């Protein structure tokens, strides 16, 4: 069915998206927590900044990444000097780009589930001897977990589809940064690439559908779970 080159593309896409989501997960949860519970000046600005990748043209996000993480960019130079890590034109850069693009969706889903956690249950945990951190671990986190997983799966799906920021930032290098959408784009340029386009597009649609269904059912479970706080 698929050639080994095409399997390689699928594997690279999954690797890039998985790494992107795993790295973003704690950051997204922290941001979601601050946006749901925090009271601080500049909250509106932070909210807008988190959502920026959702509305700004992806090519702009890619260009900003290029400026920051490129060979001469401030963060890029530091990564190179301190850890010997280069992200430009590497799969790690593709992961970084799709992480940024997936972040707003993940934060939105997590924020909703954190807002759905019944704070009266947290108060109950406190009277039962649990400090703030223990209350978070034993009540708030487990009750918001379905939303966290839903957000992660949604972010994973978004990440699989990431195109504009990726191609701008890390280009379209076979075996390194050529993920599914970039491979489809490249195949479209080739005479006789139609069959390959159709196969890769089919895989893209199947993976996305799967992720969306999983995410939706997780979110539904979360609403049922965190809802009835009275236990009666």
Partner 1 sequence: MALEVDVRLIRRGRAIAARFTVEPAQITALFGPSGVGKTSVLDMVAGLVRPDAGRIAMDGTVLFDSAAGVDCPPEHRRCGYVFQDLRLFPHRRVRDNLLFAWRRLPPSARWMTPDEAIGFLGVGHLLDRLPATLSGGEAQRVAIGRALLSAPRFLALDEPLSSLDLGRRDGILAVIERIRDELRLPVLYVTHDPAEISRLQARVIELA
Q: Which residues in this chain contact partner 1 in the complex, by CB under 8 A?
A: 118, 120-121, 123-131, 134, 138-139, 142-143, 225-232
- Give the shortest CB-231-to-partner 1 separation in angstroms: 3
Cβ distance to partner 1 smaller for residue 199 or 221:
221
Shortest distance, CB of residue 222 to partner 1, whole angstroms? 11
| SS3 annotation, 60-101 | HHHHHHHHHHCCCCHHHHHHHHHHCCCCCCCHHHHHHHHHHH
Our measurement of the distance from residue 172's CA atom to the centroid of its chain's CA atoms, rounded to an integer in Å, reads 21
Taking the C-alpha atoms of residue 149 and residue 153, their distance in angstroms, rounded to an integer, is 6
Q: In angstroms, give the least distance from the CB of 189 to partner 1.
A: 52
Q: Is 156 helix (H, G, I), strand (E, B) or coil?
A: helix
Spatial distance between the Cα atoms of 160 and 98, rounded to a whole number of angstroms = 8
- Residue 119 Cβ vs partner 1, minimum distance, rounded to whole Å: 10
Which CB atom, from 134 or from 217, has the smaller least distance to partner 1? 134
User: Using CA atoms, how far apart are residues 146 and 135, in angstroms rounded to an integer?
Assistant: 18
Looking at the chain, the number of H-run helices and the number of E-run strands are 11, 0
Nearest CB to partner 1, comparing residues 30 and 131: 131
Minimum distance, C-beta of residue 144 to partner 1, in the bound complex (Å):
11
Judged by beta carbon, residue 202 or residue 229, the one nearer partner 1 is 229
Nearer CB in complex with partner 1: 191/224: 224
């Amino acid at each position: 069915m698929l050639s080994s080159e095409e399997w390689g593309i699928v594997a690279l896409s999954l690797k890039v998206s998985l790494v992107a989501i795993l790295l973003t997960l704690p950051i997204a949860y922290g941001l979601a927590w601050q946006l749901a519970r925090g009271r601080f000046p500049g909250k509106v600005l932070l909210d807008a900044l988190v959502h920026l990748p959702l509305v700004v043209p992806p090519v702009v996000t890619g260009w900003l990444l290029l400026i920051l993480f490129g060979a001469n960019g401030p963060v890029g130079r530091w990564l190179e000097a301190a850890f010997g890590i280069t992200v430009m034109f590497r799969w790690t850069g593709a992961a970084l780009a799709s992480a940024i693009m997936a972040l707003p969706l993940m934060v939105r889903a997590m924020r909703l589930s954190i807002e759905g956690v019944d704070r009266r249950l947290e108060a109950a945990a406190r009277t039962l001897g649990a400090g703030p951190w223990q209350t978070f671990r034993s009540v708030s986190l487990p009750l918001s977990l379905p939303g966290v997983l839903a957000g992660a799966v949604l972010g994973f799906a978004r990440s699989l589809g990431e195109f504009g920021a990726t191609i701008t930032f890390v280009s379209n290098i076979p075996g390194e940064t050529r993920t599914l959408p970039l491979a489809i784009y490249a195949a479209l340029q080739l005479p006789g690439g139609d069959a390959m386009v159709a196969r890769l597009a089919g895989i893209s649609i199947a993976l996305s559908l799967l992720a969306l269904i999983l995410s939706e059912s997780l979110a539904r479970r979360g609403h049922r779970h965190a809802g009835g706080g009275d236990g009666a």
